[in-house]
């Protein structure tokens, strides 16, 4: 039988792998705000998730009841394309170690976080979960995407074979506190925010933005993402992620599940709303208070013209985002000013 859900309580022992990053730090904040007191985390120096023996020892000693796997090797387009072996090896190794030890130590529930880069380059828009593995991936981040797809399939396979309760979620483009604002390595939103802030300080007459400004992207505030993750951890199970007609209290046996095809059990986390890069830049310009001109350098590549998730599966499970883009950017800029914005 699939593992029966045990309701989380405020003292449940929860291990957050990757607690310092954009994703993990937002989840820690959300859990603490909801009164969870028994949170466990380790820095990379304290626990190398690439080390199978170290991970096994950690699980043996700590015995977490719930696991949130937000740790990953991440980077921008250049890094993904240059260090292809590192991205596939390290992400597979982290996932394999944490997911397998979660099974061996009878973890009540695991939440595995990936990314919408798992979807094909030419996936129909908006992207539904069933777009997975229907056509080729974007070449530049293919190794990373394949590692994340393997994580989804590992969770599915352990659930089907062993009756575990592992859920995979795929957030859209995230932004928020603890984001990366390095101009060479960060994503478009934090990069634009920093460029315009520095242009404002330096009274620069123009800010150059690569591309035509026409591509459309979706953005989700990291604290909304965290709220969705905690919602799923608290109230939804693997059996809620695929369609089989059943009563609420019915549990399918493993033998029954083995005789049907279970696919695409991952869950998109997004807003379902997109915005052009030009509109995004103008919004950031207003929030930062930059009075110069924006120059869209259309000699630079635009990339994929539209990337938008379909979050209807998550909506049907009972969760929707609450922070709209302009409010979220304002919050991030306030955080940036307090932390990095004054650094030269």
Average pLDDT over residues 258-278: 92
Return the sign of the alpha-carbon dihedral for residues 123, 124, 127, 130.
negative
Radius of gyration of the chain (CA): 21
- Is 77 domain-assigned? yes
Average pLDDT over residues 167-181: 95
- Is 185 domain-assigned? no
**Residue-number span of the structural domain to which 137 is assigned:** 14-179+219-272+308-323
- Is 149 domain-assigned? yes
Which residue, 200, 194, 237, 240, is CA-closest to 335? 194
- Is 167 domain-assigned? yes
pLDDT of residue 295: 96
Worst-scoring range by mean pLDDT, 50-64, 121-135, 225-239, 255-269?
255-269
Assess contact for 270 and 309: CB atoms under 8 A: yes
pLDDT of residue 315: 98
Average pLDDT over residues 179-207: 91
Active site residue 144: yes
* Beta strand residue intervals within the chain, DSSP E: 14-17, 39-40, 66-69, 109-113, 166-171, 173-175, 206-210, 216-221, 267-269, 274-276, 293-297, 306-307
Which residue, 257, 50, 246, 84, is CA-closest to 164? 257
pLDDT of residue 343: 44
What is the residue-averaged pLDDT of the chain? 92
Q: What is the pLDDT of residues 294-308, one digit of tens each?
A: 999 999 888 889 999
- Is 200 domain-assigned? no
Sorting pLDDT into bands at 50, 70 and 90, what band is 187? confident
Q: How many domains does the chain have?
A: 1
- Is 203 domain-assigned? no
CATH of the domain at 233: 3.40.50.720
* Catalytic one of 66, 103, 119, 144: 144
Which DSSP letter does residue 5 get?
Answer: P
pLDDT of residue 245: 46
- Is 9 domain-assigned? no
Sorting pLDDT into bands at 50, 70 and 90, what band is 344? very low
- Is 342 domain-assigned? no
């Amino acid at each position: 039988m699939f593992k029966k859900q045990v309701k989380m309580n405020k003292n449940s022992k929860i291990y957050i792998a990757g607690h310092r990053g954009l994703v993990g730090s937002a989840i820690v904040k959300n859990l603490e705000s909801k009164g969870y007191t028994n949170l466990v985390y380790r820095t990379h120096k304290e626990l190398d998730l690439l080390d199978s023996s170290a991970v096994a020892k950690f699980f043996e000693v700590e015995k977490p009841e719930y696991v949130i796997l937000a740790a990953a090797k991440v980077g921008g387009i250049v890094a993904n394309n240059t260090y292809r072996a590192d991205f596939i090896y390290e992400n597979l190794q982290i996932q394999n170690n944490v997911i397998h030890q979660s099974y061996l130590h009878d973890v009540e529930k695991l939440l595995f976080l990936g990314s919408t880069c798992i979807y094909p380059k030419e996936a129909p828009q908006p992207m539904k979960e069933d777009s997975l593995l229907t056509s080729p991936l974007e070449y530049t981040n293919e190794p990373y995407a394949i590692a994340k797809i393997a994580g989804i399939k590992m969770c599915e396979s352990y659930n089907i074979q062993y009756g575990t309760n592992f859920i995979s979620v795929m957030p859209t483009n995230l932004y928020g506190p603890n984001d990366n604002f390095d101009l060479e390595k960060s994503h478009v939103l934090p990069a634009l925010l920093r460029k315009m802030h520095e242009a404002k300080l330096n009274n620069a007459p123009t800010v150059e933005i690569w591309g035509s400004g026409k591509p459309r992207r979706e953005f989700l505030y990291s604290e909304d993402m965290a709220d969705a993750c905690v919602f799923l951890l608290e109230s939804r199970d693997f059996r809620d992620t695929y369609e089989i007609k059943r009563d609420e209290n019915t549990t399918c046996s493993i033998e029954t599940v083995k005789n049907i095809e279970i696919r695409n059990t991952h869950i998109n986390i997004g807003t379902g709303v997109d915005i052009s890069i030009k509109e995004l830049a103008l919004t950031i310009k207003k929030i930062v208070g930059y009075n110069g001109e924006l120059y869209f350098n259309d000699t630079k590549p635009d990339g994929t013209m539209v990337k938008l998730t379909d979050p209807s599966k998550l909506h049907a499970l009972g969760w929707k985002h609450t922070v709209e883009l302009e409010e979220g950017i304002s919050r991030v800029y306030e955080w940036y000013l307090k932390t990095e914005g004054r650094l030269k």
